[in-house]
Amino acid sequence: MTDSKTNNELIIATNLFRELLHRHLEVTNQDDDKDEIATLLYLLATSYIVTSELEAAVKMFHKALDVVQDELLKGKVHSALGQVFVIKDEQKEAKKHYRKAIKLFRKIGDEEGIRQLSGVIAAPPLSDTEPEDLTKQIRLGAMVTCKQAFYTLMTQKENQ
């Protein structure tokens, strides 16, 4: 498979995922479940990382922060924002969001979240890593998150 064919397939799959998320968001908005709305916005933002639409990702993550109530989800949003700013080579902003995530993870006792992000902050400067490799790693993680969420949403739809 060529890179351009793979990229086109990725874009098509991501757009279908976004369409599914938008449909769920419409229904959830009627229920006014703030954390469910925040989760859907988080997933939409993550899908923008997959396609390297970083400004759209930042915008969606901030919308999620505007409504989220769950501390763990809020921490995940800040962690994901940190990743976006790493890709954008805005290390100061990345570390600011990583620190906010760690603070939230400490508050709720999420030792795994604390360990992962403490390692990121304590590591050599993020700019010492090859930017292309770091971007690929972050995008791959975003793809995995989207894939898992897609299967979860499809399973929920089948069970209704």
| Per-residue model confidence as pLDDT tens digits over 98-131 | 999 999 999 999 998 888 888 777 665 554 556 6
Q: Percent of the chain, pLDDT > 90?
A: 41
At 156 the pLDDT is 66
For residue 68, pLDDT beyond 90: yes
Q: Distances from the Cα of 153 to the Cαs of 39, 107, 128, 156, in angstroms?
A: 12, 29, 38, 5
For residue 53, pLDDT beyond 90: yes
Q: Burial letters for 146-155: b for 16+ Cβ neighbours within 10 Å, e otherwise? A: beebbeebee
For residue 22, pLDDT beyond 80: yes
Query: 70 versus 134: which is more confidently predicted?
Result: 70
83, two tokens:
């990743």
At 143 the pLDDT is 79
Helix (H, G, I), strand (E, B) or coil at 68: coil
Q: Give the mean model confidence (pLDDT) for residues 28-47.
A: 86
Confidence label for 1 from pLDDT (cuts 50, 70 and 90): very low
Q: Give the mean model confidence (pLDDT) for residues 46-52.
A: 91
Instruction: Answer whether CATH 1.25.40.10 is correct for domain 3-159.
Output: yes
List the domain boundaries for the chain.
3-159
- The pTM of the full predicted model, rounded to 2 decimals, is 0.81
- Within its chain, how far is the Cα of 16 from the centroid? 17
Q: Give the mean model confidence (pLDDT) for residues 44-56.
A: 93
Confidence label for 41 from pLDDT (cuts 50, 70 and 90): very high
Give the closest residue to 131 by CA, choosing from 94, 81, 87, 83: 87
